[in-house]
Amino acid sequence: MSDLLAGRPRLITAGVQLFADAAAAQGAEVSRVDWQPPMPGTEADLATVLADPRRAPANAEAVRRIAETQALLVDVLPAGPALGLQPNDFLHAGPPIDWQRASGPLRGALLGAAALEGLVDDPEQAEPMFAGGAGYTLNPCHSRGAVGPMAGVVSSSMWLFVVEDPATGRRTYCSLNEGLGKVLRYGAYSAEVLDRLRWMSAVLGPLLQGAVRRHGPVDLKAILAQMLQMGDEAHNRNRAGTLMLLRELLPELIDSDAPSTDVAEAARFVAGNDHFFLNLAMPACKLTLDAARDLPGSSVVVAMARNGTDFGIQLAGTGDRWFTGPAQLADGLFLGNYGPSDANPDIGDSAITETAGLGGFSMAAAPAIVRFVGGEVSDALAASRRMYEITVAEHPMYAIPVLDFRGVPLGIDVTRVVRTGILPQINTGMAGRLAGVGQVGAGLVTPPAEIFPKALAALAASVPS
Amino acid sequence: MSDLLAGRPRLITAGVQLFADAAAAQGAEVSRVDWQPPMPGTEADLATVLADPRRAPANAEAVRRIAETQALLVDVLPAGPALGLQPNDFLHAGPPIDWQRASGPLRGALLGAAALEGLVDDPEQAEPMFAGGAGYTLNPCHSRGAVGPMAGVVSSSMWLFVVEDPATGRRTYCSLNEGLGKVLRYGAYSAEVLDRLRWMSAVLGPLLQGAVRRHGPVDLKAILAQMLQMGDEAHNRNRAGTLMLLRELLPELIDSDAPSTDVAEAARFVAGNDHFFLNLAMPACKLTLDAARDLPGSSVVVAMARNGTDFGIQLAGTGDRWFTGPAQLADGLFLGNYGPSDANPDIGDSAITETAGLGGFSMAAAPAIVRFVGGEVSDALAASRRMYEITVAEHPMYAIPVLDFRGVPLGIDVTRVVRTGILPQINTGMAGRLAGVGQVGAGLVTPPAEIFPKALAALAASVPS
């Protein structure tokens, strides 16, 4: 003890910087540990969940299933027969919501979809039906095994990618990507938007169906693993993924009996849209994450999704229950003359990519993304590194070259989020807040902090006493 | 002065570490500057060249020309008419060499090419002709505006990519990439090798010609700039480049009147060879570098090339003269059971990519390359950073995302190489040292140091007194 006091003091400090600063000012050697207390009011729930002996094995099983489940593109089908949708049945991104609480871009996409399905001639004529609350259904994509980027509206005539786990036959679904700018998923519904969607249903969908069927199953996880070596993070950069899909399907597209002008137009459409593969990355992520659902005691997040008003998460240990809070505004880069006041809060099922360790969690693999979502390259590297603090594993198949081929951070653990206060990093497109506008930018966003204590509380309540 | 001695000594040391170590051991604060004396015996030539008032503006003009010259793929042609080759005229990679001094892989490729051109039935029957020194010609690719990877052998029936600078009509040429393993450019000449080359001349070349002509000029520098955002460095990773080329040409390939089985085979061949774009990166680099030739006083390197025996460089300020020394063995990873004793010294014109700031100079953009050429990711980043020490500019169009979009190091300055002792970093394939073997691995290599003082001496001799 006397030895300890004889030398120059060397302190390790955690938390409050004031104490560390004072000691440093007096000449002490201070090693600061980046620590903060758990989110307020979560101590009891944390203690309950962390003491649950089921948790560690359930979480290990969750990430094992997520990592090992295969995801094969096996078909392309119209949503009507594939999901049992009638022309007045609509799906949307994120947790459940009704028209009254729906944001501009979701309303815009619903109006457009109603016109697309022939319920009205002009999109805006559908407003009374939606506002009246009768004559239609509105459900989350996630409730039907589907995911949708941005507004995520799916209606019966739209065609869907069908992704299958060959071990179980389970399937997930996602619409075909329309491109950027004035598109339905960003809430635009002008004539050009609807014409494009009609062409996609009449020409692109059937051509892709033929190509996929002739080709046979396409291994999406193998493509995702390659993408991370090629500067894509599979949320806002899908450039290499789209090219690899094209390499697989283009020869088969050509092999169809369709008019060569249709084939050429389809090839040009896919080749000209660097985001086309996003709508395959998303259902592939959902398929693998769904394999971890319903594992009692697991604190791993199996879905993050936003409807433009609410941000919701689901846990492996709490069934289909959503834990929601207000969707946040992204911080990023704007198109043309748009600015922050034009943006809608965070929207879309695409945060399923982050939930699976891609997107914002893999930005270190895609430094060029900062040119699209803003920030510095060092931020992208730091974001990936930070996500290891709140995840339980590293993906054995998805590696980040610049981090010495470390596996991407996998399996968001709600206890780690609550304990550290570190929120999942999402990168995302930004929709205009008014119906009809379309995309206004892209940026970085996090979930509202409050949903993690809510989810933790529900998990704690499920622990047998 | 008394103030200076009152405090604790703080030293900046350069060069010999012994002095720095001694001061540090006595408690001084030492900042070590990484410095070493110029290469031995170069002091007078360095002084002459550095004092030449033409040098700085000539070097600035050199890199301006290299950066600004466009490179468009405009055609695909047989080498005979394109380069005026007869069936007994052969081109090879690197500086000039004769059969007697040629290494195994170059000999193997020449034997194969002689059989391909029908001079003999069996490749090995051509050995007396080559050894006798009569009945054929043997010249560097570079002497005909061409470049060839590895052995780089071009003969009259092979088809070539034609790359053009639209401002001047200047053209460069390169053969079509055969894939990896047992291929002519690595010195293999078995029946499968020759059959593949015959198919490439009969089917692939004409199909590509039709596709390029229907498509119109393909901007290769735009593709190269994209590749650096997608994990390619355009020497040993050309995966994204190949996919982007395919995206451009595949729709046009299909549009041909050729049998669909031929089209399908050609598409599969290109899609299955991640190195296909190398043979476009190389002539694009040569075309831009050639724009900097013949600038009196310039110390910028405009070509680095190896014939398997000699490594040669050419400078902007010294015309077509080669400065040569013994090609080195690469350090890297080996295929199958091959090891270092199976490898031939460094061979090929592909170091033209490094000369233009790509390849080893851009490895930071392609960290996954270490899985192909060996080393750690940190080595790849360090290699790119080191190359800024020996170059005069940063490329305005080719950016490395992970280095905060810094332009690639451009314009190797022979005076900087001689003054720092830092040698250009090249990554490369390794050919078997025996004729007929083919590829044995890939790795990292540098030129022999002695060629830079030789080049500097010639440049010094050209300075008006």
Question: Which residues of chain A are within 8 Å of residue B254 when distances are taken between CB atoms?
Answer: 254, 263
* CB B402 within 8 Å of CB B425: no
pLDDT digits (tens, 9 = 90+) for A106-127: 999 999 999 999 999 999 999 9
Count of alpha carbons within 13 angstroms of residue B362, beta-carbon side = 38
Average pLDDT over residues A395-408: 97
Structure token pair of residue A49: 């969940």
Contact criterion met (CB < 8 Å) for B377 and A244: no
CA distance B264 to B115: 28
> Could you tell me the CATH superfamily of domain B44-67+292-461?
v583 domain like (3.90.1700.10)
* CB A337 within 8 Å of CB A374: no
B377 → closest Cβ in A243, A378, A404: A404
Question: Predicted confidence band at A449 (pLDDT cuts at 50, 70, 90)?
Answer: very high
CATH of domain B70-283: 3.90.1710.10
Average pLDDT over residues B292-314: 98
CATH of domain A44-67+294-461: 3.90.1700.10
pTM: 0.93
SS3 call for B17: helix
In chain A, residues under CATH classification 3.90.1700.10 are 44-67+294-461
Chain B: nearest CA to A35, how far in angstroms? 29
Mean pLDDT lowest among A28-37, A75-84, A111-120, B243-252 = A28-37
In chain B, residues under CATH classification 3.90.1710.10 are 70-283
pLDDT of residue B23: 83
In chain A, residues under CATH classification 3.90.1710.10 are 69-283
Which one-letter amino acid corresponds to residue A109? A
DSSP string, A183-244: -GGGT--SHHHHHHHHHIIIIIHHHHHHHHHHH--EEHHHHHHHHHTTT--SSS--HHHHHH
pLDDT of residue A27: 77
| B213 φ/ψ angles, rounded to the nearest 5 degrees | -65, -40
Question: Predicted confidence band at A1 (pLDDT cuts at 50, 70, 90)?
Answer: low
pLDDT digits (tens, 9 = 90+) for B257-295: 888 888 889 988 999 999 999 999 999 999 999 999 999
B240 → closest Cβ in A230, A251, A376: A230
Torsion of CA A21, A22, A23, A28, to 10 degrees: 70
Q: Which of B211, B355, B244, B27 is nearest to A247 (CA)?
A: B244
- Give bridge partners of residue A314 from the DSSP assignment: A303
* CA dist list (Å): B410 to A11, A394, B239, B288: 48, 38, 23, 12
Q: Which of B317, B240, B234, B273 is nearest to B56 (CA)?
A: B317
Q: Which of B363, B451, B375, B449 is nearest to B400 (CA)?
A: B363
Predicted ipTM?
A: 0.90
pLDDT at B1 over 60: no
pLDDT at B108 over 60: yes
In chain B, residues under CATH classification 3.90.1700.10 are 44-67+292-461
pLDDT at A369 over 70: yes
Contact criterion met (CB < 8 Å) for A247 and B246: yes
Question: Predicted confidence band at A4 (pLDDT cuts at 50, 70, 90)?
Answer: low
Contact criterion met (CB < 8 Å) for B251 and A244: no
Q: Within its chain, how far is the Cα of A422 from the centroid?
A: 18
Domain with residues A69-283, CATH architecture: Alpha-Beta Complex (3.90)
Count CB atoms within 10 A of the CB of residue B206. 17
* CA dist list (Å): A308 to A283, A327, A330, B339: 20, 6, 12, 59
Structure token pair of residue A197: 């969607």
Structure token pair of residue A85: 């949708």
pLDDT of residue A18: 83
B401 → closest Cβ in A260, A377, A401: A377
Chain A residues whose C-beta is within 8 A of a chain B C-beta are 229-232, 239-240, 243-244, 246-247, 250-251, 254-255, 260, 263-264, 267-268, 271, 367-368, 370-371, 376-378, 381, 401-405
Chain B residues whose C-beta is within 8 A of a chain A C-beta are 229-232, 239-240, 243-244, 246-247, 250-251, 254-255, 260, 263-264, 267-268, 271, 367-368, 370-371, 376-378, 381, 401-405
pLDDT digits (tens, 9 = 90+) for A420-448: 999 999 999 999 999 999 999 999 999 99
